[in-house]
Amino acid sequence: MPEQKTETFERDEYISKKSLTMNDIWAIVLAAGLSTRMGTQKLLLPFNGKSIVEKVVENILNSGIDKVMVVLGANHDEIAELLKSWPVKTVRNGNFREGMHSSVISGVKALPANARAVLIFLGDQPFIPENAVQKVVEGWKNSGKGIVIPLFSGKRGHPPLYDLKYRFELSNLDPEVGLRSVAQKFPDDIFEVETFCPEIVRDIDTPDDYTHELNNTN
């Protein structure tokens, strides 16, 4: 593990969150996977008039987050071409076969130095409600905590938010534990917010999942 460096913003002197806006927050979309269980690249599948990955991006933008980074790996060229018409930045994760943690690392390392927080979205959740995202952001601004995790009926879901005072930790994730390693290291800095949104704990992995979610939108 690399030696921990002093962060750009000292933890005890971090800018007052209540003065920040949505412009200070980035969304990272993890969209690098092989879609093995689906049998085809699921992010390119149609969903409610667009592809799955486009719906994810659209929902993020509609929630008020306008700085979006999509981390790509498998089917990079096809997905990047699809996203050309969207106001997003794409980053290529050459290590995507190592697992989801590698995409988080790629995304965080590509964030600008002035980013204050990051929301981590899954590329196969094209149905996250805008109000769920907004509740997470408000939880970060008002709770005084650096890690905000959305809940549905007590179950943790996506997107979690990480204050970028944890940039070092997010850039050096334990591959065996992933994002949970940050929460485990700083358990007293976690705020959980009930969203009342079942969508935050669902994703699309298999053909049955896809059919089920398509039926839910009709």
**For the whole prediction, is pTM greater than 0.85?**
yes
pLDDT (0 to 100) of residue 218: 64
CATH class of the domain at 20-217: alpha beta
**14/158 Cα distance (integer angstroms):** 25
Do the Cβ atoms of 128 and 199 come closer than 8 Å?
yes
Percent of the chain exceeding pLDDT 70 equals: 89
Token pair of 104, please?
A: 């988080």
Q: Is residue 74 within 8 Å of 32, Cβ to Cβ? A: yes
pLDDT at 20 over 70: no
Q: Which carries the bigger pLDDT value, residue 7 or residue 94?
A: 94
In the chain, what are the domain boundaries?
Answer: 20-217
Structure confidence by residue, pLDDT tens digits, 98-112: 999 999 999 999 999
DSSP strand pairing (68-72 vs 117-122): unpaired
Q: Is the pLDDT of residue 36 over 60?
A: yes
